[in-house]
Chains A and B, each alone.
Chain A
Amino acid sequence: MSLILKQIFAFLKLLNSDTGNISLAMGMTCGFILGMTPILSLHSLLVFLFLFFFRIQIGAAFVVAFFVKFIAFFFDPIFHVVGSAVLEMDSLKDLFTTLYNMPLIPYTRFNNSIVMGSAVITIALSPFIFILSQIMVIKYREKVLARFKETRFWKFVTATSFYKWYYNYSQYKWN
């Protein structure tokens, strides 16, 4: 339970930080793909490399992946149906045979119905997830965070010496 709370607080901290909206939204999208896709596949590795080399919020990706993992199981039947439908398409059979016999490609486990289904669905949904995440982050920051900062309670908290000390500490820690 403490792990879940820790993840939730980490995510809230990210939302409340100065991290860019796009970076956060990209991280959340990557997290969605990682969470939905079975971890041991080559395209999961590609997502990791993507996270590593580009300025994408890794924390957001991991937090989202962590939570999505819990609900991904429920979508497996849908992934299976979609994946099977794709893998059984006659028009794609030659392509899959070629891919199956190509170097490296078999490591993507594309020939598994769940992997194929989850890849097709998550990649297809990823632009929408990205846009949706970005909108949500912006809205959150505009509506919720800004309003919260205007509250008397928050002003009271920021006025305390403890907050100042913590602020300085966090600045020191993260810079």
Chain B
Amino acid sequence: MTDKKKKAGGPIRYEAIIPVLILTAITFIYFSVFFDRHVKSLAEYIGTQINGAEVNIEEVDISFIKGSLTVTRLEVTNPEDNLRNTIEIGKMNFKLVWDALLRMKFVVDDASIEDIMLMSKRSRPGKVLPPSPAKPSKTEALQAELVSQVQSKYQGNVLENLITFLDGSSVDDQIKEIRGTLKSEARINEMIKDIDSRKNYWDQEIKKISDDTIVKNIEKKIQSLKNEKNDLKKISMVKEIAEDIKKVDQKVKDVKDKSDQLQNEVKQFANFPKEVEKLVKEDTESLKNRFSIPDLDFKDLALNLFAKDFVKYLANFRKYSEVAKQYLPEKKEVSEEEKVVPPKRSEGKTYHFPVTTGYPLVWLKHASISSKGTEGSYVGDVQGKLTDVTTDPKLINKAAILDITGNFPTINLLGVKALYALHHHIEDPFQEIFMQVNEFKLFEKLFVNEKDKKFGISEAKGTSTIKARIQNNTVDMSLLSHFSEPRYLVDLNTKSGTQILTRILNNIPLISLEAHARGPFSKLNIDLKSNLGDELGKGLKSELTAPIASAENKINALIDEKIKGPQKELLSKVNLSSNQLKSLNNIEALYKKHEKQLQAELKKLQGGQGEKLKEQGKKLLKGLGL
């Protein structure tokens, strides 16, 4: 047998190195050619899901060698108007720190965000995702909670009532239409019918009961008993009278039962007027509502005008606060992944040395935001910075701050200053926001917006300052706004209503709004003051006091006309029932009186008859010699 000696290879295992090199080359090609596209697609998909409408990115350029990320033209479609973008950013550059990357941490040392456009037009309509009402997101639920609080509080909108009243057809016409539909009237008629039927029944019953033939018969029998000479006949007559008296006794009992029954019914009837009173009140209120006659209490008019808008700001603040909490946690728990993997054998002891260059998982150290607008474009003149956004604020021990100033002339937004700080690095974390807009144009702020009636501000110049702070799920938010040169939009059905409202509004050249919300989100204490509410209230009060009083009088007259008559009749019927009860009681008394009298007579007769019979018996025995 010949043992072939294998040719000895060199110290390096080339047959293993070549596949590794091929794999490395494939990886390199993937990251050079495809990775950017895949990141772009993934970012677009995730962005679309979060935004609820299409998010587009023109290009993503990731360089591992430079440690840089560049995003070109990010467009975020406005879900409410898919022809426009909520925001469009021309370019974003991020420079990552290699030192951190080697530790699998993403630290952006410097970033820039350029050419920010708000409400820019899209080249094509953005796809809007269908809403998913079955499972609202957590943030949507939080928003809904706040909005529902205000809606439930101000559902009976004073202003809308006033407008409806101003705009309504005449009360007289409407009264004509609704005659005969009053609940109280219908009930009274039912009650009268009820009483009438019972009255007839009781009349018959009383008639039956008040038949005193039996008493008279007994009286006659007693009289004839007195005149009777035949003793045996007398005895049988006494028996007969006793039987009759028993019948009288039964009759007394019957009368008593009927009396009790009638008493109960009378009691029920006695409650009828109270019930009628309540129904009349209800009818009056429903008529007032039907004619939209408002209560002239304008204390909360400002709340009615602006509460829903203010709450939208609150809801947005809460939404972003919750999002910030989710992605920039207040408390960083040490995750298992960040520890060096524990030994499977003995635990040993892991020594910790001072951290001099530790990084959180993600840390955007500094991002400068700048854009220079051009005339007619949606690009704003924006300057600002975003600093220290991180997944572990406690580690870097700095607050995340977004500080922006700028102007967006195309959309009439001037002197914008926004400062948003997340103090999640301290023991008792909080978030605060300061937002100021020196000038903005208000378009179509409608307080009443219905098909045939509109009331609001069509155009005004505004300034606004919002300050908010949220800590331990408790918010403290204030809003101060002024609207000058307002042009009001009043379009009601009736000319008189339009004239009244226009007259009042022309005397309000400057609108101020001061709003505060304090407390936990679940139980907010909202306070809103606006001179629009006060002035509108005063004006409307002076204009409407007389018509409202007149309308109320007319309704009262209608109630009186429709209800008072039947009510009176009802009361008389109830009195009649009481009279029936009295007569029944009289009958009972009469029977009792007669019964006693008859029983006394009978006793007397029975007693005398016995003695006589005894005497006659003795005589008879003596005659027989016994």
B271 within 8 A of A: no
Complex: A77 Cα to B12 Cα, angstroms:
37
- Contact assessment for A103 and B348 in the assembled complex, using a CB-CB cutoff below 8 Å: no
- Contact assessment for A104 and B102 in the assembled complex, using a CB-CB cutoff below 8 Å: yes
Complex: A175 Cα to B349 Cα, angstroms:
48
- A111 partner, pick from B1, B351, B356, beta carbons under 8 A: B351
Complex: A164 Cα to B128 Cα, angstroms:
76
Residue of A nearest to B343 (CB): A38
Residue of B nearest to A99 (CB): B353
Binary CB contact string for chain B from 61 to 74 against chain A (1 if under 8 A, 0 otherwise)? 00000000000000
- Contact assessment for A100 and B353 in the assembled complex, using a CB-CB cutoff below 8 Å: yes
- Contact assessment for A112 and B358 in the assembled complex, using a CB-CB cutoff below 8 Å: no
Scoring A40, A52, A100, A104 by chain B CB atoms within 10 A of each residue's CB, the highest score goes to A100
- Contact assessment for A55 and B346 in the assembled complex, using a CB-CB cutoff below 8 Å: no
CB distance from A156 to the nearest CB of B (A): 14
A140 within 8 A of B: no
Complex: A97 Cα to B11 Cα, angstroms:
37
CB distance from B97 to the nearest CB of A (A): 10
- Contact assessment for B10 and A55 in the assembled complex, using a CB-CB cutoff below 8 Å: yes
A62 within 8 A of B: no
Complex: A38 Cα to B342 Cα, angstroms:
9
Complex: A43 Cα to B354 Cα, angstroms:
23
Q: Which residues from chain B contact A76 at a C-beta distance below 8 Å?
A: 345-346, 348
- Contact assessment for A111 and B352 in the assembled complex, using a CB-CB cutoff below 8 Å: yes
Complex: A171 Cα to B5 Cα, angstroms:
11
Scoring B4, B9, B349, B354 by chain A CB atoms within 10 A of each residue's CB, the highest score goes to B349
A114 within 8 A of B: yes
- Contact assessment for B351 and A39 in the assembled complex, using a CB-CB cutoff below 8 Å: no
- Contact assessment for A103 and B103 in the assembled complex, using a CB-CB cutoff below 8 Å: yes
A113 within 8 A of B: yes
Say what secondary structure dominates the interface of chain A.
helix
Q: Which residues from chain A contact B351 at a C-beta distance below 8 Å?
A: 87-88, 96, 111-113
Q: Which residues from chain B contact A127 at a C-beta distance below 8 Å?
A: none
Q: Which residues from chain B contact A114 at a C-beta distance below 8 Å?
A: 343, 345-348
Residue of A nearest to B8 (CB): A20
A40-B11 contact, Cβ under 8 Å, with A97-B356, A167-B1? no
Binary CB contact string for chain B from 1 to 40 against chain A (1 if under 8 A, 0 otherwise)? 1001110111111001100100000000000000000000
B178 within 8 A of A: no
Binary CB contact string for chain A from 49 to 80 against chain B (1 if under 8 A, 0 otherwise)? 00011110000000000000000110011011
Complex: A167 Cα to B1 Cα, angstroms:
10
CB distance from A59 to the nearest CB of B (A): 13
Q: Which residues from chain A contact B343 at a C-beta distance below 8 Å?
A: 38, 40, 109, 112, 114-115
B176 within 8 A of A: no
Complex: A18 Cα to B345 Cα, angstroms:
36
- A101 partner, pick from B6, B20, B356, beta carbons under 8 A: B356
Q: Which residues from chain A contact B349 at a C-beta distance below 8 Å?
A: 80, 83-84, 112-113
A40-B341 contact, Cβ under 8 Å, with A52-B16, A167-B1? yes
- Contact assessment for A18 and B353 in the assembled complex, using a CB-CB cutoff below 8 Å: no
Q: Which residues from chain A contact B6 at a C-beta distance below 8 Å?
A: 18, 175
- Contact assessment for A109 and B13 in the assembled complex, using a CB-CB cutoff below 8 Å: no
- Contact assessment for A97 and B10 in the assembled complex, using a CB-CB cutoff below 8 Å: no
B495 within 8 A of A: no
A169 within 8 A of B: no
CB distance from A108 to the nearest CB of B (A): 9
- Contact assessment for A101 and B358 in the assembled complex, using a CB-CB cutoff below 8 Å: yes
In the complex, chain B residues 330-362 whose Cβ is within 8 Å of any chain A Cβ: 340-341, 343-358
B99 within 8 A of A: yes
Binary CB contact string for chain A from 24 to 53 against chain B (1 if under 8 A, 0 otherwise)? 000000000000001110000000000011
- Contact assessment for A111 and B350 in the assembled complex, using a CB-CB cutoff below 8 Å: yes
A80-B346 contact, Cβ under 8 Å, with A107-B340, A111-B351? yes
Complex: A111 Cα to B188 Cα, angstroms:
94
- Contact assessment for B352 and A55 in the assembled complex, using a CB-CB cutoff below 8 Å: no
23 A-B Cβ contacts within 8 A?
A40-B341, A40-B344, A53-B12, A54-B13, A55-B12, A73-B345, A76-B346, A77-B346, A80-B349, A97-B354, A97-B356, A101-B358, A103-B99, A103-B100, A103-B102, A104-B103, A106-B340, A109-B341, A109-B350, A112-B348, A112-B350, A167-B1, A175-B6
5 extra A-B contacts, CB within 8 A, seeds A53-B16, A103-B103 = A53-B17, A87-B351, A104-B102, A114-B347, A167-B1
5 closest residue pairs by CB, A with B? A103-B102, A114-B348, A76-B346, A100-B353, A113-B348
